[in-house]
Structure 1
Amino acid sequence: MWEKTAERSMTLYELLGKMQPRARQDIFEFADFWEVMEKRGFGPMLALPSFIACTPIGAIPGIPSLAGGTILLIALQILLGRRHPWLPKKVLELQCDADQLRYIVGKVKPIAVRVDRFLVPRCFFMRQTIFRSFIALCCVGCGIVMIPLELIPFMGLVPAFAVFIMAIGMATDDGAVALVGVSLSLFGFVLGFEQLATAVG
């Protein structure tokens, strides 16, 4: 169960590279990433909206809710057993500033090179249906809680970061990293509901 293999489906550096807009591109659409990555599985698909929600772009009003809703839609499809993710046209047409995203990804990619040394295929129980479903449920919960947490500054970062970690684990076949993301998501639920209860009270 804990054995390693020689190859990964994808590295974190490669995943970030796919998120980086082209040099002369002014506007980045979700569809640009989707067309390239839709056949690479659900991990990369979950990575983009969660990554954006973790960056300064995520501070723009409405972005956390849109990212949360997108995560929710993708995670539900994992639970439904779909082989390839699907999103409505309205979601695929979502845009952000290409220069800002290009700059952020460029800053993170050198860190990704160092992180990639520790990302190896392992803990293959995560490929079992029951565990994939559990990851998907955690992502569903994170997507849902991100929507009301937009009302509390920076609180949406916790569930968004948890989804990003789970997505990295899925994309790189690293079940240990996926487990870290699951733990973060459970922490995010508790913290998020406490903050919401405080805000309502």
Structure 2
Amino acid sequence: MSGSDSPPQTLGEMLERLEHIDRPDGRVSLEDVMETLGRRAFGPLLLLAGIVTVVPVIGGIPGVPTLMAGLVLLVAVQLLLQRRAIWLPRWLLTRSVALTSLHKASRWLAPVARPLDALLRRRWQALVGDHAVTAMAICCIGVALMMPPMELVPFSANGAGLALSGFGLALMSEDGVAALFAFTVSVATLVAIVAGLG
């Protein structure tokens, strides 16, 4: 397993890096993932949190959406503060899942990676510029704060996962269309949660 100073730029590249993680104990920690994706991987970490929340083999485990909420909150706050590198506490870095689950999720997503990556490109730069990134970070914080209650509302976590995935892809590819999709899904999900808990 080798780290990289440059974070992945596409979903396909991210999945390829994750697929190459190998641990003798059969467990992969968040620290292993950070070493693989890079300490500046704001977009990839948001994308990973979104994927974990959506993919049934991991996101369906009770407590996982709440754990991902903690990760998203920490990443989004540091994105808001314009930090160059991501810091995460030791208790979160040592959290782990079975390596087989990570590889199964990677293979589950592999068929959609290539066509999705082909759709993404640099465009609508106003939606991925500095002010937009600030808005993305604030929106991600809002989504993260709502994720624990989402465990009580069926399928609502899927909306959060899609929104986080969209923000992650927008940051990675600098695609304003992906950002617009993520903003739209975020608002729709938050409205659905408020209505579901009301």
TM-score past 0.5 threshold: yes
How many residue pairs match? The answer is 189
SS of residue in 2 equivalent to 1:22: coil
Contact persistence 2:49–2:164 (CA under 8 A): no
Match of 1:167 in 2: 168
SS of residue in 1 equivalent to 2:38: helix
SS of residue in 2 equivalent to 1:117: helix
**Residue 12 in structure 1 maps to residue 1 in structure 2:** no
**Residue 184 in structure 1 maps to residue 179 in structure 2:** no
**Residue 59 in structure 1 maps to residue 60 in structure 2:** yes
Match of 1:104 in 2: 105
Residues 169 and 20 from structure 1, CA distance in 2 versus in 1: closer, same or farther, beyond 3 angstroms?
A: same
Counterpart code for 1:36: T
Contact persistence 2:139–2:186 (CA under 8 A): yes
Counterpart code for 1:194: A
Q: Distance in 2 between matches of 1:151 and 1:194?
A: 13
Residues 70 and 24 from structure 1, CA distance in 2 versus in 1: closer, same or farther, beyond 3 angstroms?
A: closer
Match of 1:28 in 2: 28
- Percent identity, please: 31
**Structure 2 runs not aligned, ≥5 long:** 1-7
**Structure 1 runs not aligned, ≥5 long:** 1-8
- 1:126-172, Cα deviation, whole Å (9 max, x unpaired): 34321111011111111111111112333211112211111011112
Q: Distance in 1 between matches of 2:117 and 2:128?
A: 20
Q: How does 1:77-92 map to 2 (within 5 A)?
A: 77-92=78-93
SS of residue in 1 equivalent to 2:156: coil
Contact persistence 2:121–2:175 (CA under 8 A): yes
Structure 1 runs, 4 residues or longer, greater than 6 Å off: none
Contact persistence 1:49–1:70 (CA under 8 A): yes
SS of residue in 2 equivalent to 1:28: strand
Contact persistence 1:72–1:143 (CA under 8 A): yes
Match of 2:137 in 1: 136
Counterpart code for 2:119: F
Q: Distance in 1 between matches of 2:63 and 2:92?
A: 13
Counterpart code for 1:173: E
Match of 1:6 in 2: none
Counterpart code for 2:10: T
TM-score (norm 1): 0.87
Match of 2:41 in 1: 41
Counterpart code for 1:20: E
